[in-house]
Structure 1
Amino acid sequence: MKSILAIFGSLFCLNVLAQEPPRSYVSYKTSEEIVIDGKADESSWKEAKWTADFIDIEGDKVPKYKTNAKMLWDDQYFYIYAKLEEPHIWATLKQRDTVIFYNNDFEVFIDPDGDTQKYIEFEVNALNTVWDLMLIEAYREGGPAIDHWDINGIKSAVNIQGTLNDASDKDQYWEVEIAMPWDVLTEASANGKIPQNDFWRVNFSRVNWNHDLKDGHYSRKKDENGRFLPEYNWVWSPQGVINMHEPEHWGYVFFSDKKPSENIEFKIPEDEHIRWAMYSLYRAQKDYYSKHQKWANTVEKLQDLPVSVLNKELNPKIEVHSSGYNLSVESPFSGKKYLIKEDGSFIQLTK
Structure 2
Amino acid sequence: MVYKTAKKLKIDGLAEEDSWQKAPFTSSFIDIEGIKKPVYDTRVKMLWDDENLYVYAVLEEPHLWGNLKQRDTVIYYNNDFEIFIDPSNNTYNYGEIEINVLGTLWDLKLSKPYKVSGKADNSWDIEGIQYAIHTFGTVNNYMDIDTQWSVEFAIPLLKLADLKEEKKTIPIHGEQWRINFSRVQWEHEIIDGRYYRKKVDGKFLPEFNWVWSNQKVINMHEPEKWGIIQFSTLQPGEVDVFIEDEGLLQKQLVYAFFRKNLALLRKNPDEIKSSVEEFKIDNQHFKYQLKKIANGFEITLKEINSKHIYYIDQEGLLKKI
TM-score range for the pair, normalised by the shorter chain length: over 0.9
Moved more, 281-290 or 258-267: 281-290
Secondary structure of 1:188 counterpart = coil
Scaled by the length of structure 1, the TM-score of the pair is 0.87
Picking from 32, 35, 40, the partner of 2:15 is 40
Counterpart CA distance in 2 for 1:139 and 1:309 is: 30
Q: 2:301 aligns to what SS in structure 1?
A: strand
* 2:290 matches 1:314: no
Question: How many residues matched?
Answer: 318
Match of 1:153 in 2: 128
CA distance in 2, matches of 1:151, 1:212: 34
**Normalised TM-score (structure 2):** 0.95
**Structure 2 unaligned runs (5+)?**
none
Who is 1:212 aligned against? Answer: 189
Does the 8 A contact of 1:271 with 1:333 survive in 2?
Answer: no
CA pair 291-253 structure 1, distance change in 2 beyond 3 A: same
The corresponding residue for 2:238 is 262
* d(CA) in 1 for partners of 2:37, 2:159: 35
Task: Please give the alpha-carbon distance, in whole angstroms, between the structure 2 residues aligned to 1:291 and 1:215.
Answer: 46
**Aligned-residue offset at 1:318:** 2.4
1:62 to 2:37 alignment: yes
Q: How does 1:1-351 map to 2 (within 5 A)?
A: 26-191=1-166, 192-196=168-172, 197-223=174-200, 225-290=201-266, 292-294=268-270, 295-300=272-277, 306-331=278-303, 335-349=307-321
Q: Partners of 1:78 and 1:336 in 2: how far apart?
A: 33
Check whether the contact 2:285–2:303 (CA below 8 A) recurs between aligned residues: no
Identity, in percent, stands at: 44
Q: Which amino acid aligns with 2:33?
A: E
Question: Secondary structure, in 3 states, of the residue corresponding to 1:36?
Answer: coil
Structure 1 residues 125 and 321: alpha-carbon distance in aligned structure 2, compared to 1, 3 A threshold: same
**291 and 103 in structure 1: CA distance in 2 versus 1, 3 angstrom threshold:** closer
Between the aligned partners of 2:113 and 2:128, the Cα distance in structure 1 is 25
Task: Please say if residues 273 and 291 of structure 2, whose CA atoms lie closer than 8 Å, have aligned partners that are also in contact.
Answer: no
Task: Please give the alpha-carbon distance, in whole angstroms, between the structure 2 residues aligned to 1:194 and 1:333.
Answer: 34
| Corresponding residue SS for 2:142 | coil
Indicate if the aligned counterparts of 1:271 and 1:334 stay in contact, CA closer than 8 A.
no
What amino acid is aligned across from residue 301 of structure 2 in structure 1?
V
Would you say the 8 A contact 2:185–2:209 is kept in 1? yes
Indicate if the aligned counterparts of 1:288 and 1:296 stay in contact, CA closer than 8 A: no
1:186–1:193: 8 Å Cα contact kept in structure 2?
yes
Root-mean-square deviation over aligned CA pairs: 1.5
Work out whether residues 138 and 245 of structure 1, in 8 Å CA contact, stay in contact via their aligned partners in 2. yes
Q: What is the rounded CA distance, in whole Å, between the counterparts of 1:193 and 1:341 in structure 2? A: 29
Query: What are the Cα deviations for residues 174-200 of structure 1, in whole angstroms up to 9, with x where unaligned?
Result: 001011111110111122132321110
Shift of 1:290: 4.6
In terms of mean alpha carbon deviation, does 276-285 or 289-298 score higher? Answer: 289-298
Listed one character per residue, the Cα deviations across residues 109-130 of structure 1 (whole Å, up to 9, x for unaligned) are: 0111222111111100001100
Q: CA deviation at 1:298?
A: 1.7
Cα 1:277/1:92, change in 2 over 3 Å: same
More deviation in 159-168 or 108-117? 108-117
1:114–1:346: 8 Å Cα contact kept in structure 2?
no
- Are the aligned partners of 1:277 and 1:309 in contact in 2 as well (CA < 8 Å)? no
The structural deviation recorded for 1:268 is 3.1
Using the TM superposition, name which of 54-63 and 110-119 deviates more.
Answer: 110-119
| Residue deviations 1:234-285 (CA, integer Å, cap 9, x gap) | 0000100011011111001011111111112314312111111111111221
Instruction: Map Cα deviations across residues 43-76 of structure 1 (whole Å, 9 max, x no partner).
Output: 1111010101100000111100000001100000
Give the C-alpha shift of residue 216 in structure 1. Answer: 1.8
C-alpha separation between the residues in 1 aligned to 2:261 and 2:52?
Answer: 39
The farther-off stretch of 166-175 and 310-319 is 310-319
Amino acid at match of 1:172: T
Q: Which runs of 5+ in 1 are unaligned?
A: 1-25, 301-305
**Structure with the greater relative contact order (CA < 8 A, sep ≥ 6): 1 or 2?**
1
Counterpart Cα distance in 2 of 1:79 and 1:307: 43
